[in-house]
Amino acid sequence: MSVPSNPLTALIAEKGVLLADGATGTNLFQQGLEAGEAPELWNEEQPDKIVKLHQDFVDAGADIILTNTFGGTRHRLKLHKADDRVFALNRKAAEIARAVADKAPRKVIVGGSVGPTGELLQPLGALTYADAVEAFVEQIEGLKAGGADIAWIETMSAPDEIRAAAEAAVKVGMPYTYTGSFDTAGKTMMGLDPKDIHGVAPDIGSGPTAVGANCGVGASDILASLLDMTEADPDATVIVKGNCGIPEYRGAEIHYSGTPPLMADYARLARDAGAKIIGGCCGTSCEHLAAMRSALDGYTPGPRPTIETIVDRIGPLRNKTATESSQAAGRERRPRRRG
In 3-state terms, what secondary structure has residue 35? coil
In 3-state terms, what secondary structure has residue 208? coil
Cα distances (angstroms) measured from residue 247 to each of 102, 281, 284, 326: 34, 12, 11, 25
On whether 286 is known to bind a ligand per the annotation, the reply is no
156 vs 237: CA distance, rounded Å = 18
- Do residues 86 and 73 lie in contact, with contact meaning Cβ atoms separated by under 8 Å? yes
- Looking at this protein, which amino acid is placed at residue 124? L
Sequence-ordered strand ranges (E) for the chain: 18-19, 64-66, 109-114, 150-156, 176-180, 210-215, 238-242, 247-250, 253-256, 277-280
Degrees (nearest 5) of the Cα angle 113, 114, 120? Answer: 155
On whether 282 is known to bind a ligand per the annotation, the reply is yes
Cross-strand partners of 215 = 242
On whether 215 is known to bind a ligand per the annotation, the reply is yes
**Angle, helices 307-314/219-232, rounded to nearest 10 degrees:** 160
Is the Cα torsion angle 327, 331, 336, 337 positive or negative in sign? positive
Cross-strand partners of 176 = 151
Known binding-site residue numbers: 215, 281-282
Known binding-site residue numbers for Zn(2+): 215, 281-282
